[in-house]
Amino acid sequence: MKTDLYPCIRILLLICLFLVSGTPHVSGNPLKIDQFISPETCGDCHGDIYHQWKQSMHNLSHHDPVYLGLSTFILTGLQDKNEIDEAESCVKCHTPVGNITGYPEKSSDDRKKIPEIATYGIQCDYCHSATGAKKPYNNGLVLSPGNGENDPGIKRGPFKNSESSFHDTAFSEFHTRSEICGTCHNVKHVAFNTDLETTYDEWKNGPYYSEDEGKIVLCQDCHMYQRPGIPATGSTKRPMNPGTAADDGPSREHIFTHYFVGANAFVPGQFGNAEKNKMAEERLKHAATLSIVSQDIHQGHFDIIILNNGAGHKLPTGLTDVRQMWLEVTVLDEKGSTLLSSGEPDKSGYLKDGTLIYNTIFGDGRGNPVPNISKAREILKDNRIPPRQSAKETYAITQKNWESLKIKARLLYRSAPQKILDTVLGDKTVKLPIIVMAETEKEIKRQKEKSDI
């Protein structure tokens, strides 16, 4: 009788093992969706912070129409499993609460089945349940949430003396460091390990990072100091934001803002929040400067200098095979005739071949450019401008018989190429704004030769 139990026990163990191994938890933690608290609940006490976050790019990460179009498009025609795995992985940062609790596991999963709380994107309880990071990329956060509103657990943040009647509180040094940002603002190809987004690394390897706590400028020191009218970049003042973190909380010297503004001056406005579009424009307009160097103009050329004096990372940053930052340059003579024109979009908003674009180009591992980031096995080009560094571009004037010149230069930015959006979204395409980050102009008179005097 005793031996008859062994096969049954073995079967039960195998069933248990299958159930455990088959449960889709990307983070490795047995987390459940009902452990997370809705942002609206958080907003009951943290009203100002909630409204700053609402319709931010963090809140809209799951709904961004450009992201949705591109993440669907890059799956088209893929056959290589490694490439498919990468194309399916966008949800790990764009829908993190759903991804770590089992659904969606993949970008192609049915969006109608995604739990409502997961559709809020990067949200309060996701960040404030973090205890650290197991890796500084691809959503490497380690989480310890509570058990829903009835047992909310510990919420972690930057203050050492926080108190709440709703949840327990704890100071977290991790929340005061750039590493918490790097877990999603560094992205590696899931199979090929290619660096696809390196915003955190750009900061860590740049001049804003320092081992000296008195000199370091953290991600939060710019992006969580900004509010309307105060872009808080490396080229502007970054005044503190005194106030209260909770509606009935104590007054503090600085409350970290939660607008989470970067360079996207389009998506928040699509959801009724024009203010965040304007804040993105303010940030872009305080990221770089332009200057024209014309000392060699009589030898037939001049230089344009772009200085990244405002961003703690490269310009541009993020998914920079898609981002567009480019120079538009025109030169007119005394008659108003165009002697040089470069970088002006056509009537469809498309850039002509040869336009000087600052971006990243990925390759297939054999030196061939790839338009689909899922195929990125190598980096073929990266001419982006590091923080506090400059790029010098030389332009030639072939005409000789001019009396005066007017040189105009503009540094322009767009979140994605219009041509790609038109292809991806078809009749649902949207027109992305082109933001003037910096502009300058210079008039030059021809110097008379001695024989003419």
CATH number, domain of 293, equals: 2.60.40.10
Is the CB of residue 293 less than 8 Å from the CB of residue 305?
yes
Domain that holds residue 333: 287-445
Helix or strand or coil: residue 157?
Answer: strand
- CB-CB contact of 96 with 122 (8 Å): yes
In this structure, the answer to whether residues 291 and 263 fall within a common structural domain is: no
Rounded Cα gap, residues 202 and 255, in angstroms = 26
β-pair partners for 413: 325, 435
Task: State whether 189 and 306 are in the same domain.
Answer: no
pLDDT of 446: 86
In this structure, the answer to whether residues 262 and 295 fall within a common structural domain is no
Q: Are residues 76 and 129 in the same domain?
A: yes
Beta bridge partners of 378: 363
Output the pLDDT for position 449: 58
244 and 98 assigned to the same domain: yes
The number of CA neighbours under 13 Å toward the Cβ of 433 is: 17
CA atoms within 13 A of residue 145's CA, in its CB half-sphere: 23
Last residue of a domain, one of 238, 267, 296: 267
* One-letter identity of residue 58: H
Q: Which two tokens stand for residue 48?
A: 């100002």
Does the residue 416 lie in any domain?
Answer: yes
Structure tokens at 272: 């009724």
Which residues of the chain fall short of a pLDDT of 70?
A: 1-29, 448-453
With respect to residue 434, please indicate whether it lies within any of the assigned structural domains: yes
Q: What are phi and psi of 181, to 5 degrees?
A: -75, -35
**Domain membership flag for residue 17:** no
Contact between 143 and 137 (Cβ < 8 Å)? no
Instruction: Please tell me the predicted confidence (pLDDT) of residue 23.
Output: 34
Q: Are residues 239 and 356 in the same domain?
A: no
Q: List, in order, residues 6 or more apart from 287 with CB less than 8 Å away.
A: 233, 235, 308, 309, 310, 311, 315, 437
> CA-CA distance, 50 to 44, in Å (whole number)?
9
Domain stop point among 267, 302, 325: 267
Query: Whole-number mean pLDDT of the chain?
Result: 93
Q: Can you give the pLDDT at residue 447?
A: 74
Q: Are residues 36 and 76 in the same domain?
A: yes
SS3 228: coil
Please report whether residue 2 resides in a domain.
no
Q: What is the pLDDT of residue 450?
A: 52
- Confirm whether 278 is domain-assigned: no
Instruction: Give dist(CA 331, CA 337) in Å, integer.
Output: 8
Give the tokens for residue 245: 């973190």
Q: Are residues 100 and 128 in the same domain?
A: yes
Place of tokens 């649902």: 428
| Same-domain pairing of 61 and 118 | yes
Q: Are residues 235 and 331 in the same domain?
A: no
Q: Are residues 254 and 321 in the same domain?
A: no
Asked if residue 122 is part of any domain, the answer here is yes
Number of domains in the chain: 2
Q: Are residues 204 and 139 in the same domain?
A: yes
Residue 415 domain-assigned (yes or no): yes
Helix (H) or strand (E) run with residue 9 in it: helix 5-22
* 7 falls within a domain: no
- CB burial string 159-197: b at 16+ within 10 A, e below: beebeeeebebeebebbebbbbbbbbbbbbbbbbebbbb
